[in-house]
Amino acid sequence: MIKKYFLLNALFVLSVTSYAEPLDPVKLLSSYVGIDTVNPPGNESRAVDFYAKIFEEEGIEFSSAESAPGRGNIWARIKGGDLPALVLLQHTDVVPATKKYWDTDPFVAEIKDGYLYGRGVIDMKGAGISQLVSFIRLHRSGLSLNRDVVFVATADEEAGGMFGAGWLIDNHPEIFEGAGFVINEGGSGQIIEGEKVFAIEITQKVPVWLRFTAVDTPGHGSSPRTTSSVSRIVHALNLVRENPFEPRIIPSVDTYFKSLSLKMTGKEAEAFANMKNFIGSKEYQAELQESSPSYHALTRDTCSLTMLEGSQKINVVPPVAAAEIDCRMLPDRTSEEFIQDIKTLVEPAGVTVSVVLAFSPAVSSVDSEFFQHIAKVTQKIHPGSRIVPAVSTGFTDSHFTRDLGIDSYGFNPVLFDSGDWTGVHGNNERVKVTSFLQGTEDLHQIVSQFVID
């Protein structure tokens, strides 16, 4: 059951007209969490139905399309002036969750100790509802806008976006026509040593997902040959594991680390302010990976060994074995170069390398009108806060829009506690109710002040 909640500040029930029903972000998010869009298989058309009903009630024209059965996408546009349009981009799918490892049912929103629990409350149904609230408030206001504002909710981001944002760009390019800026997931706020630090994601490591396949003579497990399909796969994986990529600090990461160092002390502050000098030490590399795998991942290309396929029976040596690895490369070279490096590395194992997924690198400018606007409004709302241009170790659908030449920024202005991030793709995903509501209001201030004359 969804527990009752009591909110004391009037801004948390958002409305702009006396005749319209107030917008309750917590109620909307609680309902949204209960809609099963776990990917795989996705079933994002359920989310489309959720949004379509709201748009119909608000009198907002919208369009929707399925890229495959059940893989729904929805978009709507508020017309404005001739300035480059602003796109509010979100994905509606979520990753799986196993109920027995949660303190609550992951697909029944529940408020507990001031936190709203549920799969997707951070990634990214919470941000999606914040975008919805801002979009509806703009529509209700009836005010003249200096540019179009486009609401886009897509399928399949958690599996690469080929049934969502990627498919829309190929099949409905009119959605992004005239767009100059995108706001999406990828950055947020955190209190560090008493200071509010807001990270705006400007680029991300590039996913390169690879599949190794080995074919060899099958046989009985009691009579091993000198090589087998499985031993070839193990050999290839060992080559990857035992030959980590050399560290390198690209400019955007260097800027990010230097910003983080300002609130650090001692050796940590010195290292983050001069990471190019420190990262050459294998001892420091190990220390950084132990203390923060995510920061360590920004210092090099990486590959995680994630999937294995072999025999169906313990005493049978199979003719074919395979493995898949999740590689992420820094956005300073092409994925083709990276893939060739991997092929050369594993050549002694006698496996074939095929590409499951690979994107192209792109970086959005910190000098753009919209980035500067986000920083200005956020610092006005939170005096004394600091804005940090960030690099994400994960990927979002922003890479699709960056490929179109659209400056795209990951930013959900919620102030999270450091421990909240363990729930993203993990157990007990949760967001503090007051932080979510403040972030929803902050996002609307960012959007509205950018688009209203």
Whichever domain contains 320, its CATH number is: 3.30.70.360
Q: What CATH number is given to the structural domain containing 59? A: 3.40.630.10
Q: Are residue 306 and residue 401 in the same domain, yes or no?
A: no
The set of residues, in sequence order, having a beta carbon less than 8 Å from that of 296 and lying 6+ positions away, is 285, 288, 289
DSSP summary character for residue 424: T
Question: Could you tell me the residue range of the domain that residue 296 belongs to?
Answer: 204-358
Q: What's the pTM value of the predicted model, to 2 decimals? A: 0.88
Domain boundary among 328, 358, 388: 358
Neighbours of 78 (CB within 10 A): 20
| Residue 388 lies inside a defined structural domain of this protein | no
Q: H or E element: which one contains 74?
A: strand 72-78
Q: Are residue 213 and residue 323 in the same domain, yes or no?
A: yes
pLDDT at residue 182, rounded to an integer: 98
Task: Report which of 16, 13, 33 is spatially closest to residue 24, judged by C-alpha positions.
Answer: 13
Tokens encoding 334: 């092409």
3-state secondary structure of 240: helix
| Residue 4 lies inside a defined structural domain of this protein | no
Neighbours of 345 (CB within 10 A): 17
Q: Are residue 36 and residue 141 in the same domain, yes or no?
A: yes
CA-based torsion, 122, 125, 126, 131: positive or negative: positive
pLDDT at residue 9, rounded to an integer: 40
Across-strand partners of 23?
A: 14
| Residue 380 lies inside a defined structural domain of this protein | no
Q: Are residue 211 and residue 172 in the same domain, yes or no?
A: no
CB 137 within 8 A of CB 444: yes
Average pLDDT per 10 consecutive residues for the chain, totaling 453 residues: 35 48 95 98 98 98 98 98 98 97 97 97 98 98 98 97 98 98 96 90 96 98 97 98 96 92 90 95 95 94 97 97 98 96 98 96 95 98 95 94 97 91 93 98 98 91
Q: Starting at the edge strand that comes first in sequence, how are the strands of the sheet with 206-215 ordered?
A: 302-309, 320-329, 206-215, 352-358
Domain boundary among 334, 358, 382: 358
pLDDT at residue 327, rounded to an integer: 98
Task: Report which of 28, 184, 26 is spatially closest to residue 111, judged by C-alpha positions.
Answer: 26
Domain boundary among 310, 336, 358: 358
CB 14 within 8 A of CB 23: yes
- C-alpha distances (whole Å) from 146 to each of 86, 115, 143, 370, 453 are 10, 37, 10, 14, 6
Widest CA span in the chain: 81
